[in-house]
Amino acid sequence: MELIDVQFAWLAPEENGDLAPPRYHSDLASGMDVAAAVTEPVVIAPGEIRLIATGFAVALPAGFELQVRPRSGLAIKHGITVVNAPGTIDADYRGEVRIGLINLGREPFTIRRGDRIAQLVLAPVCQASLRVVAALDPTGRGSGGFGHTGITG
């Protein structure tokens, strides 16, 4: 497995020494768990969206992004998910990584300092070079979408 160098910095090292940096919890894990850097417990009411601090910033190499994804246990057990899943941290962003969470559950949910709230997946990206054409090449599907292939929920 190829390792990609990602720079990581605590924004206030003296305040966040008790937190674990994002890390993989198994040898073949694709996502690094991210801990909440909240100073007080944050209660997320059903239907509410909250932006949760992590206390760190990263510098990614060109051609990569960090995708912010939900933790399956929080989603299945409590309805807590990343509101814009997957979120994207671009290679040129240097601000604090913050996680937008939404409570889709029926009960309020409390985030405490150090709770693992999301996971980060490093992914390669490429940029499109759009070419304007008069018409698109036809396909068997055409413009059918949203259930057009016969698959329903």
What are the structure tokens assigned to 64, written together?
Answer: 């990569």
Q: How far apart are CA 41 and CA 117, in angstroms?
A: 13
Quote the Cα angle for 12-25-71, to 5°: 80
What are the structure tokens assigned to 91, written together?
Answer: 């290679």
Sorted by sequence, the CB contacts under 8 Å of residue 108 that are 6+ apart come out as 43, 44, 45, 46
Q: Which residue has the tokens 């949203």?
A: 146
Q: How far apart are CA 78 and CA 105, in angstroms?
A: 6
What are the structure tokens assigned to 83, written together?
Answer: 């509101």
pTM for this entry: 0.88
pLDDT digits (tens), the chain, 153 positions: 889 999 999 999 999 989 999 999 999 999 999 999 999 999 999 999 999 999 999 999 999 999 999 999 999 999 999 999 999 999 999 999 999 999 999 999 999 999 999 999 999 999 999 999 999 999 888 887 776 666 655
7-124 folds as: Deoxyuridine 5'-Triphosphate Nucleotidohydrolase; Chain A (2.70.40)
Quote the Cα angle for 128-133-134, to 5°: 155
Which amino acid does the sequence have at 122? L
